[in-house]
Structures are given as structure tokens and as C-alpha cells.
Homo-oligomer: A and B are copies of this chain.
């Protein structure tokens, strides 16, 4: 059975919860559209997160990777278009480290575009009554970092990208300003649609390959 790695992050920046952690709890270790989802929680620690991620890639050998994280303030679910080879933090990570204008991979390319089927996902969200859009920056914090690290570790043939979640009610209730938010159940549903769409793409590709046709 094909495998999809789904990651979330632990809480950070003073929050007591992270909706991406709850997404992984809800959807990790389920079979969705014939694909085995493997959930992993990543630390908000710029030194350890890449290690944990690479170990998970090694262990699961996934056919696709959907990384998720919180972008408090975003009004809707957003697919990230690109991960940039820069670390530049507005706040320290959970280990107290605050990077300024450093490379993630000194010899790596300047950026990687997402290899998820962005257009398919937008259409599937719309059909499910879920507003969402493509974001042109994932920031320069841990979210951007793990997307870069995953894309750098994997070949272009493994669909891989990052999905930013708005606040959930708990995050919004604890925030000093009025944040857009969505019920956790709606966030889970949005990620479920992403996983189903990627799964459908994997199945279609496999079917095609069996017929001896190359490429997407």
C-alpha cells in the first residue's frame, strides 16, 4: 500500500496548542483513499526538526509528503508555493535559537517549488465548500525550513509540500489580537481533502505507469 507522510508541529510562541498537531492526531495512521497515512510530530527546534524529519522520511519511505503548520493570522487554509533557502526568525524557536539571515543548505539551490498538485487541491477544496488559496511565502521560520529540507531530501517525483493552517479556537482565544480562526474539525476536513487529492494523484500515476505511459 502506498504511504503518505503527514507532519505537524508542536506548540510554539506561547501557544498551548498547535492545530497542526491536532490534525496529525486526527488523520495520522489512517487509510485514506487507499493510501496509508503516517503521522509524525516535528519539534519547533531549528536544529532538531530536520533530523526528526529526515529520520521519518527514512523510516516510512513515503510516496508523498504533506507537511502542516500554523500560520496564525491567515484567513483560510493555504498551500505554500515555494520554500526558500533562508532562515530568518522573528521569534526564537522552542530551544531559544533565533536565526538571522542564514542558509538552510549552504550549497543548496535558492528555493524549491512545491511538488504537490496545487491546482487539483484548490479544485477539490472548492468542491468540498472549503475556501483556500496558494500562498507565495511560507515565512522564514520552521515551516519554510522543513518544506525546504523535505524537498531537498526527496526527488521531484515524490509529491511534497507544505500546508499552512489558520488558528483554531483555542489559539484565537489565547491571542492578544483578534485572529481569524476555524473550528479544528474544519481544519481536519481541509487537510483530509488534501490527503485524498494527493492519494488520487498517486493512484492515477500508478495506474498510468502500469500501462507503460511516462510522466504526469
Q: Which residue of the partner chain, among B84, B119, B183, B186, contacts A81 with CB atoms under 8 Å?
A: B84
Query: Do B81 and A129 touch across chains, with their CB atoms under 8 A apart?
Result: no
Query: Do A119 and B131 touch across chains, with their CB atoms under 8 A apart?
Result: no
Known pairs A109-B109, A136-B139; A179 contacts B85 (CB<8 A): no
Please choose the segment from A57-65, A110-118, A157-165, A195-203 that sits at the chain B interface, where 4 or more of its residues have CB less than 8 A away: A110-118
* Copies of this chain: 4
Considering only residues 129-156 of chain A, those with a C-beta below 8 Å from chain B are: 129-131, 133-134, 136-137, 139-140
Known pairs A136-B137, A172-B131, A181-B131; A86 contacts B81 (CB<8 A): yes
Considering only residues 173-203 of chain A, those with a C-beta below 8 Å from chain B are: 173, 178-183, 186
Query: Do A129 and B169 touch across chains, with their CB atoms under 8 A apart?
Result: yes
Which B residues are CB-close (under 8 A) to A110?
A: 82, 109-113
* A76 CB–B CB distance under 8 Å: yes
* A75 CB–B CB distance under 8 Å: yes
CA of A88 to CA of B119 in the docked complex: distance in angstroms? 12
Considering only residues 79-103 of chain A, those with a C-beta below 8 Å from chain B are: 81-82, 84-86, 88, 101
Query: Do A140 and B130 touch across chains, with their CB atoms under 8 A apart?
Result: no
* A126 CB–B CB distance under 8 Å: yes
Q: List 23 A-B contacts (CB under 8 A).
A: A75-B75, A75-B179, A76-B172, A76-B178, A76-B180, A81-B84, A81-B86, A84-B111, A84-B136, A85-B113, A88-B134, A101-B119, A109-B109, A110-B111, A110-B112, A111-B111, A131-B169, A131-B172, A131-B178, A137-B137, A181-B182, A183-B183, A183-B186
